[in-house]
Chain A
Amino acid sequence: MVASVEPASFRDPSGRVFYRDGQVFRGLSPVAAQDWRALAATKFFANAVKAGKITATEEAEKTDEWDVVLKHERIPFISYPFEWSFAMLRDAALLHLDLLQAALAEGLTSKDGSAYNLQWHGASPVFIDVGSFEPARPGEPWAGYRQFCQTMLYPLMLQSHLDLDFQPWLRASVDGVEPARMRKLFGGARRFKAGVLKHVHLHDAVQSRNARSSTGEVRAELRDAGFSEELVKATVRAIQKLVRGLDWQPPASHWTAYQQTCTYSDADRAAKVEFVEAALPAKSNLILDLGANDGTYSRIAAKRSDYVVAVESDAAVVDKLYRDLRDEGERRVLPIVMDLADPSPGIGWRGRERASFEQRAGADAVLALAVIHHLAIGRNVPLPEIVDWLAALGERVVVEFVEPADPMAKRLLANKPEGLFPDYRRDVFEKLLGERFTVEHRAELPSGTRTLYCGVRRAG
């Protein structure tokens, strides 16, 4: 089978990630191969792999093109930092720093500091960019510091210090938030919030004053002035302390508002759980739970699937779900932040460097419970479009249709001119669903305004 190259792995030309027969490989140039040998000889690497903190890696058969070929374990679902919640980004950042600290203790460093170096096993972060480690050069600061600031520290500061969701900032730019932009957001007394003076204001000021000096010159100057290994370690410790101190809790009013969006009778809830349990296949690789809310159905799905991605647009809800899953040690349910009416696009170079949500989906089953009315009425997405989209995401669908007479649908309809959605009817939805899926089960919930369907995608 022909290998396909990972579109995001071009930034570091000393290696390339590619896929063959459904497996993940990393080709290494002669220089990168030396770095790999140095890494493979360290204790921290073996320990981190064993603990699941660095992706499992072994040497594979060599090809003509590369000096060394590594085989990595496959990550069940690739997600991006702009889809993570605050606590997820914070835990990912702390893992990056912990690994860097452990590497420094054994004479290695990381040549970058990107949030994209990390992925997830459910609610556990895992470092995937094994090519990032290299022997440290004495007297040189951490090369990944700026990238770390832009893709992890600054987004965390935005959320923690300003209560501003960081996801749109990371989605807007694959390189994250620049110091100059941060500086504008942290004017006045905000500059005295933890870490802001040094990592934002001073950082940007020094950067603009040294714009004409090359990093090679500055490295030599720092070495001559006595910059040492110990100082690199002290820098990392200082950043660790800062990140540990950053926290975020949504305002209490957020939860009060959120409660009002969930209207279910106990009878409806029980019938729904029963239907979902019966509708899911006994075994699957990946299930997407769209509009996952508190993760109730993701947890049910996880009993039948190797992996579940819980997609929810409310970043605070995802953050709470993540903290719960993390505390339970869950490694098969990955919560992500995404607005279903505006799913993650492809970003970076040619819009392909980081794939769109739809390209990454390919699920065995999709749960779309209590979401269709939000898309159709709340966001004006035509029903045929919604059904097409579901068919693009997975083989099997478990979907709930909420009739216009339902209290929740009524509330959504009240915000739109009367008669705007004449086609938002159960019979229309059933017809559309039947065109794309073979409907296997159908059940009306006791309240009488909600119907559940389970369908298998038709070929072609």
Chain B
Amino acid sequence: MRLAYLDAGSGSLIVQAVVAGAAGMAVAVKLYWRRLTGRFRRRADAPTDND
């Protein structure tokens, strides 16, 4: 994969979804929803002390 020479800034990439309007907002919501559910999934999968 080709990498950009410039650090575009991770936040600067995400905020563009919001700048793009309603359809972009939906993408941002989806991204954060996935992060949230991903965190729960990871927690559920995490090994406990009993293992």
Evaluate contact between A213 and B10: CB separation under 8 angstroms: yes
Evaluate contact between B20 and A207: CB separation under 8 angstroms: no
Residues of A contacting B30 in the complex (Cβ-Cβ under 8 angstroms): 225-226
A11 to B5: give the CA distance in the assembly, Å.
8
Task: Judge whether A251 is part of the interface by a CB distance below 8 angstroms.
Answer: no
Evaluate contact between B21 and A218: CB separation under 8 angstroms: no
A214 to B30: give the CA distance in the assembly, Å.
19
Evaluate contact between A141 and B5: CB separation under 8 angstroms: no
Which A residue sits closest to B3, measured CB to CB?
A: A216
A206 to B12: give the CA distance in the assembly, Å.
8
Task: Judge whether B27 is part of the interface by a CB distance below 8 angstroms.
Answer: yes
Which A residue sits closest to B34, measured CB to CB?
A: A225
Residues of B contacting A239 in the complex (Cβ-Cβ under 8 angstroms): 19
Shortest B26–chain A CB gap in Å is: 8
Task: Judge whether A59 is part of the interface by a CB distance below 8 angstroms.
Answer: no
Evaluate contact between B27 and A231: CB separation under 8 angstroms: yes
Task: Judge whether B7 is part of the interface by a CB distance below 8 angstroms.
Answer: yes
Task: Judge whether B4 is part of the interface by a CB distance below 8 angstroms.
Answer: yes
Task: Judge whether A281 is part of the interface by a CB distance below 8 angstroms.
Answer: no
Evaluate contact between B31 and A221: CB separation under 8 angstroms: yes
Evaluate contact between B21 and A222: CB separation under 8 angstroms: no
Partner of B13, one of A12, A209, A215: A215
Evaluate contact between B15 and A231: CB separation under 8 angstroms: no
A232 to B8: give the CA distance in the assembly, Å.
14
Partner of B23, one of A141, A208, A209, A231: A231
Given contacts A143-B4, A235-B20, contact A217 B10 (CB under 8 A): yes
Evaluate contact between B15 and A222: CB separation under 8 angstroms: no
Evaluate contact between B18 and A146: CB separation under 8 angstroms: no
Give the contact stretch, choosing among A80-88, A196-204, A356-364: A196-204
Evaluate contact between B12 and A222: CB separation under 8 angstroms: no
Chain A contributes a number of interface residues (CB within 8 A of B) equal to 49
Residues of B contacting A231 in the complex (Cβ-Cβ under 8 angstroms): 16-17, 20, 23-24, 27
Task: Judge whether A227 is part of the interface by a CB distance below 8 angstroms.
Answer: yes
Evaluate contact between B27 and A206: CB separation under 8 angstroms: no
Evaluate contact between A145 and B24: CB separation under 8 angstroms: no
Residues of A contacting B34 in the complex (Cβ-Cβ under 8 angstroms): 221, 224-225
Partner of B16, one of A142, A209, A215: A142
Residues of A contacting B5 in the complex (Cβ-Cβ under 8 angstroms): 11-14, 111-112
Task: Judge whether A234 is part of the interface by a CB distance below 8 angstroms.
Answer: yes
Interface residues of A (CB under 8 A from B): 11-14, 31, 111-112, 137, 140-147, 149, 198-199, 202-211, 213-219, 221-222, 224-227, 230-232, 234-235, 238-239
Interface residues of B (CB under 8 A from A): 1-21, 23-24, 26-28, 30-31, 34-35
Could you jot down 26 A-B contacts, CB within 8 Å? A12-B5, A12-B6, A111-B4, A111-B6, A137-B2, A141-B13, A142-B16, A143-B6, A144-B6, A144-B8, A145-B15, A199-B19, A204-B11, A206-B14, A216-B3, A218-B10, A224-B34, A225-B28, A225-B30, A226-B30, A227-B27, A231-B23, A232-B20, A234-B21, A235-B19, A238-B20
Q: With contacts A206-B14, A226-B30, A234-B23 known, what are 17 further pairs, Cβ within 8 A?
A: A13-B5, A141-B8, A141-B13, A145-B16, A146-B9, A198-B18, A202-B15, A202-B18, A207-B9, A213-B10, A219-B13, A221-B35, A222-B14, A230-B23, A231-B24, A235-B20, A239-B19
